[in-house]
Amino acid sequence: MAKTSLKRTLSLWQVTALGLAWNTPMIYFSTFGISYESASGQLLITYVLSFLAILLTGTSYAKLAKKLPLSGSAYTYAKATIHPNAGFLVGWVVLLNYLFAPIIACITFGVFLSAQFPSIPPFVWIGGLLILLTLIAIRGVGASANISALFVAIQLLFIGGFGALLLFNLIQNGSTLPFTQTFADPILSIDNPVHALFMGTSVVVFSFLGFDTITTLSEETKNPEKTIPRAIYMILFIVGGFHLSSSFFIQSSFPSLSFLNLDAAALEMMATVGGPILQGIFILVLTMAIFTQGLASITAVSRLLFAMGRDNLLPERLFSYIHPTYNTPVFNILLSSTLSLTAIFLSVDTAMRFVNFGALTSFFFVNLCVISLAYKQKENVPFFKSYFVPAIAALIMMSLVSFLDLVTLTVGLIWMTLGCLYLLYLTKAFRHPLARWQPGKHSERTIV
């Protein structure tokens, strides 16, 4: 098979834009009803807990991205630091996360546009979105990054404007309450027991996912050892700042809420806050947001499939194929787009929980990778950063997984079991080991 040359084209801002696009700051609103119900209205505290948990794991991703600037994300890290078999199983779990990400984009796109235009069924919106996403993704990641940067900026402007509107309303309507009571209630009023807060956190954490996908672009990024870690922290703090401030102002403005349609709850809230005008602007911005989320999601899953195909863990002829003109993994893009058609039959809540299972489980292993890497380096490494912090982060990730509902855990364990069986097939019951990772082995070929 012909090999294409390595093309590092992505800058810090482009990588950050792609990460924010996958995360989608507006995901806060597109999944608002489910998050609100899962948190029992205690949005701020559950978002604070989620942010702190993800920040610890983000530190582990940044450390590994600096040491191993290769595509594949958690799959590559586990393969290089623990064992090839562990790498395969982690990659298999990450697939569950990455495959469902574009599905969520399609579901929310269909739900909100159908709520706004009831005469058009959701499957029409879903099909149209997938055709557009596929065509753009095939053209290359550079185009994806530039489109994402513009749409992400529009999202952040909308969220900032919405927060300012809520603050203005609070100031206008809060004269009957002491100032400290109006703004301290969301912080001090924690009515739910601890286990309920963690159950809410295990769902709300979905809003922070996405920063990890930029590690799949390491081989397409300029100076990835510095660029990828910086982008990880930028994404986390930008997203964290907007999500926490949104939670604070919403909880201050609406101590209790109820919705007619949980999946489109944010649309109802926009009508309450700003009437039809704000509702229309919200739909427009959300459409852009979901578009960029879907584009970044298909980009990420196609790169993970490429990395696994390149290592012959999936049929190499198909999954490592790169289009000679566009330098993109066309087969992987078409496959992920086709699978995303299942959005027609799934709910947002169901897809979210499967993504959370895959993400939280892979985050657990990424933290273990940091510990394994420190141990294998056999040199003086800071105990706190290299052992204590990732160990705490790993325990938090597993505790959040344990708070997911029984159906999600069952499906997740079935998926992992299938992965174990496939690993047995690949290794002939462990008689033939998978190829070990070697530095520089894949530097000859990548994608753009």
How far is the C-alpha of 335 from the C-alpha of 81, rounded, in Å?
30
Beta bridge partners of 10: 221
288-320 per-position pLDDT tens digit? 888 888 887 888 788 878 878 888 888 888 898
pLDDT grade for 60, boundaries at 50, 70 and 90: very high
CA separation, residue 382 to residues 56, 60, 81, 362, 370 (Å): 16, 14, 18, 24, 12
In this prediction the pTM is 0.81
- List b or e across 312-344, with b for residues whose CB sees 16 or more CB atoms inside 10 angstroms: ebbeeeebbbbbeebbbbbbbbebbbeebeebe
Inter-residue contact 338 to 251 (CB < 8 Å): no
How far is the C-alpha of 18 from the C-alpha of 146, rounded, in Å?
9
How far is the C-alpha of 64 from the C-alpha of 49, rounded, in Å?
24
Cα 69 to chain centroid, rounded? 20
Sign, CA torsion 40/357/341/148: positive
- CATH code: domain 12-256+264-426 is 1.20.1740.10
Strand ranges (E), 123-192: none
Q: Which two tokens stand for residue 340?
A: 């995303």
The residue-averaged pLDDT of 139-158 equals 76
Amino acid at 90: V
CA separation, residue 352 to residues 23, 82, 360, 393 (Å): 13, 29, 12, 21
220-241 per-position pLDDT tens digit? 788 888 899 999 999 999 999 9
Residues 6 or more apart whose CB falls under 8 angstroms from that of 338 comprise: none
CA separation, residue 105 to residues 281, 332, 363 (Å): 19, 18, 22
> Domains of the chain: which residue ranges?
12-256+264-426
Q: Which two tokens stand for residue 292?
A: 């960029």
The predicted structure's pLDDT at residue 349: 82
